[in-house]
Amino acid sequence: MAKSAFYEFYKGIFEQNPVFTLVLGLCPTLAVTTSLVNGFGMGVATLFVLVSSSLIVSVFRKRIPNEIRIPVFILIIATFVTSTDLIMAAYSPALSKSLGIFIPLIVVNCIVLGRVEAFSAKKNVFRSILDAAGMGVGFTLTLILLGGLREVLGTGSIIASGRVLASLPITGASAMIITPGAFMTLGLLLATSKRLRRMLK
């Protein structure tokens, strides 16, 4: 075992960040980061789906016939996604409403299927959970960053549970809140992360 268990976890945060390095899971990243809270909620939901799907797939990885593995993975992931959707609607209705169809869309989030297929299907349970958790946390942090940026530059403040967490003395450019702003912000962040990684080498 060359890589430490801890590595399997923290690689998902920077070195193999799902959005900035692996360039996966872009749809929710752009659409849902209209506020920090939305980004956080989406990240946590995806984290849950990632870890639970990875767990189940890894436990049964030797029993799933290779030819039908993709449909089986999809069934497992879809079950956890729908469960998350229902639980969210029951216990966090406001968040469920603002995230809308993007919760069910976690089932086609390339991060989930990608990690399950590339990792959990082959490695043992412990490492699979760490890998999934790391990716999920990295994804959540990215969404929080993007959501927070867009919200503070777009409205001038960050609001959570009705309380203002931070604010800038600006009115805000509403272009940040809508899709064009999302594209451009992510583009600039990607360039920044590229630059940072080159500088750290």
Give the interface with another protein as residue ranges (CB under 8 A): 23-24, 26-28, 30-31, 64-65, 67-68, 70-72, 74-76, 78-79, 81-83, 85-87, 89-91, 93, 100-101, 104-105, 107-110, 113, 174-175, 177-184, 186-188, 190-192, 194-195, 198
d(Cα 155, Cα 12) in Å, to the nearest integer? Answer: 30
Task: Please check whether residue 137 is in contact with residue 47, taking contact to mean a CB–CB distance below 8 angstroms.
Answer: yes
Q: Which CB, 5 or 68, lies closer to another protein?
A: 68
How many Cβ atoms are within 10 Å of 180's Cβ, its own excluded? 10
CB of 20 to another protein, least distance (A): 10
Nearest CB to another protein, comparing residues 124 and 192: 192
In terms of CB distance, is 97 or 122 closer to another protein?
97
Tell me how far, at minimum, the Cβ of 94 lies from another protein, in Å: 10
Residue closer to another protein by CB (options 4, 179) is: 179
Distance in Å, CB of 61 to another protein, minimum: 14
**Residues, the chain:** 201
Q: Tell me the one-letter amino acid at 63.
A: R
CB of 87 to another protein, least distance (A): 6
Interior/surface letters 126-142, b for 16+ CB within 10 angstroms, e for the rest: ebbbbbbbbbbbbbbbb
Closer to another protein by Cβ: residue 5 or 87: 87
Q: With helix as H, strand as E and coil as C, how does 77-126 read?
A: HHHHHHHHHHHHHHHCHHHHHHHHHHCHHHHHCHHHHHHHHHHHCCCCHH
User: Whole-number minimum distance, CB 3 to another protein, in Å?
Assistant: 26
**Helix (H), strand (E) at residue 157:** strand 157-160
